[in-house]
Amino acid sequence: MTRDRHVLRDGIEELAVPLTNAELQERGDRLAHAQGELESHALHEQDVKATLKAQRTAVEAKIANLASIVRNKREVRSVAVQVVADYGRRCAATVRQDTGEIVSERPLTELEMQASLDGVA
């Protein structure tokens, strides 16, 4: 250095440096790979969100069903019943076999009434 100038320190700094063609090609390859990774992650994210939404919907339905059962203090179950004809009253009664409770009644059909006449004859 000259008398008017002298080195204060040596060091390394981050500076913008033009890329060679080979470096530019390598960065382009890395960029394309990174974009592919991002697209893959986005598709995976959509799949996971859809799965989680379906699972949430199933849990919400379970909660709603159980809340209804608790609120009404009853639930629908399969129960053995008999449909019994009462020809005197001209009705058919659906009777629970476990309790004997009549759960519904309806008028006998003409065919059911005819069966009673056929059975008498």
pLDDT band with cut points at 50, 70 and 90 for residue 121 = very low
Same domain flag for 38 and 69: yes
Per the domain annotation, does 11 fall within a domain? no
pLDDT of 4-41, one tens digit each?
Answer: 888 889 999 999 999 999 999 999 999 999 999 999 99
Q: How far is CA 2 from CA 5, 8, 36, 79, in A?
A: 5, 13, 55, 108
Number of domains in the chain: 2
pLDDT in tens, 68-113: 999 999 999 999 999 999 988 999 999 999 999 999 999 999 888 8
Q: What is the pLDDT of residue 8?
A: 85
* Domain coverage including residue 29: 19-75
Strands, DSSP E only, in 20-120?
A: 81-86, 91-96, 102-107
30 and 55 in a single domain? The answer is yes
